[in-house]
Amino acid sequence: MSNKPLNPLELYKHLPKTNCGRCLLPSCLAFAAAVVSGDKKLTDCPFLIKEQLEQLSTGLQPRSKIEPDQVEFLNQLQEKIRSIDFEEIAPIIGATHRNDELIINALGKDFTIDRQGKIRSECHIIPWVTAPLLAYATNPTHQEITGTWITFRELQGGLDWQGLFTSRCERPLRQLADDHPTLLSDIIDLFMGKETEAFEADIALTLYPLPHVPLLICYQAPEEDLDSKLTIFFDACCAVNLHIQSIYSLCAGLIQMFDKIAQRHI
């Protein structure tokens, strides 16, 4: 086997593809993604024999060693951005075109993309938002906000990423909301969120990580013997406007940021 780090699709080729669920994930592809990200171990699949485990383990490396692949992905996005007509695409994706630059508002903050794909903003450029911003601007398809809310698994390709989304996004955000009762209200103020009463929840807030990629967080606080509940919904247009992996990465980055905010005891 090559010394090049395995990506989820390459690992998936070696899996049984039965989607049996014995790894506690909904599909073999989701399991492959979880192994590469470090959330699952190869041994969690009962069908891999010893020889396969030994061969495949050589292709699994720490995240720091996979970094060049991420850099290559960003380089590809920056190459794509050079061919985009900023003036034409800006009104379609809810952005602004000025001085041959594209200005995209994310969570109430303006991010400017130049012709080389470089991003600047008055606030700190958070690494996890760079790729989704460029992917959003270069996405070949686009749809206006529909007003129809669906779960992550209902998005195109969402079922394969549901296990990671639950463990990295919904579950930790629910725990944060349990531990810091004012966090979700503070997020509304910090990131231009909007609270809605359209859903049966203690708090239901809408955020716009990207202009046409809205998400809705619904949280029900624990009560007596009932555990708390938290579900993140997405407008039906989201999977059209951004690839499912970028949607997952965007949400996972948001949760990391919310965790840091909670630690500062706002």
Give the whole-number percent of the chain exceeding pLDDT 70.
Answer: 91
pLDDT of the residue at 69: 57
CB contact at 8 A, 228 and 222: yes
pLDDT at 61: 59
CB atoms within 10 A of CB 185: 15
* Phi/psi of residue 122, nearest 5 degrees: -70, -25
**pLDDT for residue 18 is more than 60:** yes
Most confident of 61-70, 176-185, 211-220: 211-220
Q: Is residue 143 part of a domain?
A: no
Residue at 92 is within a domain: yes
- Statement to judge: residues 48 and 18 lie in one domain: yes
Res 127: pLDDT: 65
pLDDT at position 59 over 80: no
Question: Domain range spanning residue 224?
Answer: 149-263
Does one domain contain both 167 and 237?
yes
C-alpha 250: how far from its chain's center?
A: 3
The whole-number pLDDT of residue 66 equals: 39
Neighbours of 118 (CB within 10 A): 14
98-109 pLDDT, tens digit per residue, is 999 999 999 888
Instruction: Sort strands 194-195 and 203-210 into parallel, antiparallel or unpaired.
Output: antiparallel
- The reported pTM is 0.73
Mean pLDDT of the chain: 87
128 shares a domain with 79: yes
